[in-house]
């Protein structure tokens, strides 16, 4: 039986981990390498870094963070943000990442997913989707949630998987940082639409929210930020809570 993964997510800005709400960035949480070391020690299944600045002048800083982190980790590391070309993907993998997350660049150039899957493998290629309810459907947004695309989330997930994405992250813009729970309706819709693992992201505030994402949302993994960064719960508490509800985890 495949185990459910618990994955801390670290948003990196100018070499620091920050945390905001609904894609705003305002609170300095700490040093990314120190936090990565802590989460690795505490039993995280994987770790995700998003470079939320992704400007040219910051990319070298982010790459250095990835390199330093990879030297410390014994769990898979996914990185995203500012990844626009196959060369960017190659650079992140060489820096020590195990997977690369594609978001805005994949929307702009759908073929980037094919290129990544062919060149580096589907196991290295993650499609990350930022989505928001627009009153009619769950729409895909890019550029940190600022730009609407007119694309429907589940349809884009299906296309991404057909092109070679090995897993899909569904991140709710509305729920992000609110601690009110994951957006279960779209998480489940995507999970039922694709044949690869789906990761729920955005909104975890209580341990029951993680259970809901797996049981109701049909996710295969949960991405969490605030509940771990602010010490609300430990990774061990999260995993034991999932296990108590009959969900297979690695303890």
> d(Cα 115, Cα 175) in Å, to the nearest integer?
32
Closest of 154, 148, 185 to residue 168, by C-alpha = 154
Phi-psi region of 2 (alpha: psi -120 to 50; beta: other; left: phi over 0): beta
Please state whether beta strands 147-152 and 167-172 pair in parallel, antiparallel, or not at all (unpaired): unpaired
Interior angle at CA 155, CA 173 and CA 172, nearest 5: 10
Point out the catalytic residue in the list 11, 45, 88, 212: 11
Specify the DSSP class assigned to residue 4. Answer: B
Would you call 180 a catalytic residue per the annotation?
no
**Catalytic site includes residue 11:** yes
**Which entry of 45, 130, 176, 212 is annotated as an active-site residue?**
130
Rounded to whole angstroms, the Cα distance separating 232 from 122 reads: 34
Run of H or E including 172: strand 167-172
Active site residue ranges: 11, 130
């Amino acid at each position: 039986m495949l185990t459910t993964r618990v994955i801390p997510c670290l948003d990196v800005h100018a070499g620091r981990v920050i945390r905001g709400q609904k894609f705003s960035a305002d609170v300095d949480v700490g040093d990314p390498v120190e936090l990565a070391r802590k989460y690795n020690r505490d039993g995280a299944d994987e770790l995700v870094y998003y470079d939320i600045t992704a400007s040219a002048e910051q990319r070298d800083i982010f790459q250095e963070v990835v390199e330093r982190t990879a030297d410390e980790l014994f769990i898979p590391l996914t990185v995203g943000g500012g990844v626009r070309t196959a060369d960017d993907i190659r650079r992140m993998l060489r820096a020590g990442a195990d997977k690369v997350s594609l978001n805005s660049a994949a929307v702009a150039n759908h073929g980037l997913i094919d290129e990544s899957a062919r060149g580096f493998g589907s196991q290295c290629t993650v499609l990350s989707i930022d989505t928001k309810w627009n009153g009619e459907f769950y729409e895909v947004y890019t550029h940190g949630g600022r730009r609407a695309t007119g694309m429907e989330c589940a349809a884009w997930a299906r296309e991404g998987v057909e092109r070679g994405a090995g897993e899909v992250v569904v991140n709710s813009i509305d729920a992000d940082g609110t601690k009110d729970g994951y957006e279960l309706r779209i998480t489940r819709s995507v999970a039922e639409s694709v044949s690869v693992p789906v990761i729920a992201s955005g909104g975890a505030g209580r341990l029951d929210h993680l259970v809901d994402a797996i049981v109701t949302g049909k996710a295969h993994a949960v991405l969490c930020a605030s509940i771990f960064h602010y010490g609300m719960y430990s990774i061990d508490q999260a995993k034991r809570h999932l296990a108590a509800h009959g969900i297979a985890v690695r303890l």
